[in-house]
Structure 1
Amino acid sequence: MVRKNLLNISLAFSTMLFACGNGESQTNQEFLISGQLPELANQQLFLLDLSQPKAAPVDTAMVDESGNFGFDYSPSQIGFYRVNLSQNMAMILPLKSGDQITVSGTTSDPNNLNVEGSADVERMTDFNRFLSNALSSQQQLNSEFQQYANHPKKDSILKAFQKRFQDIESDIEEKVKAMVDQDPALFSNLALMEQLNPENADNIAYFKKVEKALADKYSQSPFYQNFKSKVADAGRFAPGTEVPEINLSNPDGEMVPLSSLRGKVVLIDFWASWCKPCRRENPNVVAAYQKYKDKGFTVYGVSLDRTKDAWVKAIKDDNLTWTHVSDLKFWQSEAAQTYGVKGIPFALLIDEEGKVIGKNLRGQALHDKLAEVLD
């Protein structure tokens, strides 16, 4: 799984959680964030509200010659905020009114940056130290593999490196789950959960756990509301769910209901001629179709195209010889609305009874699932 952004509602979180902010070294003033970062002496820092990523900073702070700084902003409600430390590093903090967060250490190494003052901030600091080391290990693996780029046994060597890479991914997932189990009611869990794939059935229970734990206290937070919507979308087509009917016309103008394919394993494939990721995936779907069509597998392509000419041309160019339907209404497609499609490609694999057995299976994952079901 590719490392994801830590909160979809705004700007990417996946940068490490580093720190800073300042004003003047006024010992009798209470600051939301204060501390000492000598490496940033004489620089100006900005505090950004990540629920309004395009808005101006909500506060600024000058770091004095000794590295002392302080932000005195008071959040109206809990949220995630960012302080840029350099072009490549930023600190993401869950903050609420009354917090007194302290920052110290060095900004060049996340392992030596100390951020304290609330359970949420300390949770994210601990996790991001772990994540920083994990990502460094993955980068090291990539560097190591480059020396085998022209090796005659490159393919077998690649598999070994992929296994090591996936082991690190698994460690990250287990770390997130362990932290959630420790205290599911921390607001910072919203950021940590971005490291888990909601389409993985093994992760759904953790998404629901966090959603339930935060519901009473943070229901008005836009970050929570975004997370809740994500959980609902993820759980909507869980394995065993019966999919709703689709009944649209094919290129010849004939209505073809999805239910007419009952008795077959069907890939419901939402795509469009203008969708480059969809077109890149089409050869893989063609290969799966050719391999398994005589074993009870077919594809029901639902296009979000706007013109018939573009739709039909893409079908011909990509050699898509299965069932195709569309109402040519772009994102307003009746089927897309019914299925809650917010991006394409989007695909569901359903069994002979119309129940979900896979979601967004691409590449080898589609072939593996079809082999499991049909071989």
Structure 2
Amino acid sequence: MKKFLAFSIILTIVISGCKKTQEYNLQFNINNLENGTAYLQTLSEDGMQTIDSAAIVEGKFSFKGSLPEPLFVYIKLSGKPRRIGLFLENTKIFVDGHADSLENVRISGSPLNEEYKQFKSLLSAYDNRQQELQQQYIEARKVNDTSTLNKIDKLWDLLDRQQNEMVLQFISQHKNSVISPFIITQRLIYSLNVNELDSLVSIFPAELENSIYVRMLKKRVQTLRNVEIGKPAPEISLDDTMGIVRTLSSLRGKYVLIDFWASWCGPCREESPNLVKAYERFHNKGFEIFSVSLDTQRDKWIEAIQKDHLTWTHVSDLKGWQSTAAGLYGVNAIPHSVLVDPQGIIIQNNLRGEALIEFLDTLFR
């Protein structure tokens, strides 16, 4: 299960300590919009963070301020579920539209938003085709048409590859723009391996070195480098189900499977019988499992452990996707596993099912 939109953008951090030299002036004119409040927001790991607000009077409102660098922001309007997303930069930006079609607002006066509009236009063809395939998939599922379902799966994979190629080409052609690292954080940061991501980040010029988006990408690369095969497994120290602190290092001298999971994760629960099988077969030979839950509700966590008969060490800080251990290991999807040798060195990633059993068989022969 993919972690959705897992990057941190906090405007107050970005602007702290910076000399105010230029200003942004964001002017809105939204027809048929009721009086209320507009909120200027950024997306953080904890969700949307409001950094400014303005009164809406007869469809008009504005935000003024200063930024050291362009930043993608969202505008939330009271009474409207849809947000307006745009790049904020130190210039005068005009946004016009209708309250009933906020997805079609017109943004002018901003070179970055013109550039981003080009990207969204290229992307729309793929998005439309994906929506068509999704609807066809739903209809085929209703009648259990496996032949059509298989064809759609292949078409989806092909379309996904073509879309990624288009995105990479756009990034290469716009490598001097802050839009490109932003697009990577939105669309590619969790789908590329560490070498692919590192190579992509290297194309950006020195002028973008301090961009918040480039810094986010470099942080991701460093996190993945820290948990590559051959590296010492970072320490994990969390409470177990009884509130007793358990550490990964306490299992040194044994082969340990670090298992990231959650009670609400269907694929994780499906993997439980395989883990039970591996534990029963190899535990007496020196194999341990150290399960780290991304749950937020203690009762659900404990209930799943008992129901699935998971009799090994379980820990969690009950912070969900904000789990400190998950962040340390760069986990963006679960189930996720890391196999550590008796010396505490990472030797494999994401072994599941029979692949795990077969690998452990070779270790304990």
Q: Does 1:357 align with 2:348?
A: yes
Alignment of 1:10-89 (within 5 A): 32=25, 40-43=30-33, 46=38, 48-50=40-42, 53-57=49-53, 71=62, 73-77=64-68, 78-83=70-75, 87=80, 89=82
SS at 1:73 equivalent = strand
1:66 corresponds in structure 2 to none
Distance 2:266 2:324 in 1: 20
Give the residue type in structure 2 aligned to 1:282. R
Matched position secondary structure for 1:53: strand
Which of the residues 168, 172, 178 maps onto 2:169?
A: 178
Query: Hey, what's the Cα distance between the residues in 1 that align with 2:303 and 2:318?
Result: 16
1:5 maps to 5
Q: What one-letter code is carried by the residue in structure 2 that aligns with 1:302?
A: S
Change (3 A) 1:289 1:182: farther
The answer to which structure has the higher strand fraction is 2
The TM-score with structure 1 as length reference comes to 0.62
- In 2, Cα distance between equivalents of 1:281 and 1:317: 13
Matched, 1:269 2:255: no
Give the counterpart letter for 2:291 in structure 1. V
1:297, distance to aligned residue in structure 2 (A): 11
| Aligned equivalents of 2:240, 2:49: Cα separation in 1 | 42
What amino acid is aligned across from residue 253 of structure 2 in structure 1? Answer: S
Equivalent position to 1:120, from 86, 106, 112: 112
Show the counterpart of 2:19.
none
CA separation in 1, counterparts of 2:302 and 2:142?
Answer: 42
Any stretches of 5+ residues in structure 2 without a counterpart?
Answer: 12-22
Return the match for 2:125 from 133, 138, 161: 133
Unmatched runs of 5 consecutive residues or more in structure 1: 12-29, 64-68
How many residue pairs match? The answer is 330
Structure-1 residue corresponding to 2:15: none
Task: Specify the alignment match of 1:284 in structure 2.
Answer: 271
Is the Cα–Cα contact under 8 Å of residues 93 and 108 in structure 2 kept in the other structure?
yes
Match of 2:143 in 1: 151
Cα RMSD after superposing both structures: 5.3
CA–CA distance in structure 1, aligned partners of residues 191 and 332 of structure 2: 18
Amino acid corresponding to residue 300 of structure 1 in structure 2 = I
> In 2, Cα distance between the equivalents of 1:297 and 1:367?
19
**Which has the higher mean CA deviation after the structures are superposed, 172-181 or 48-57?**
48-57
Equivalent position amino acid for 2:339 in 1: I
Identity of aligned residues (%): 19
> Which residue number in structure 2 is paired with residue 232 of structure 1?
222
Q: CA deviation at 1:268?
A: 0.9
What TM-score comes out, normalization by structure 2 length? 0.63
Contact 2:95 2:108 in 1 (8 A): yes
1:96 matched to 2:92: no
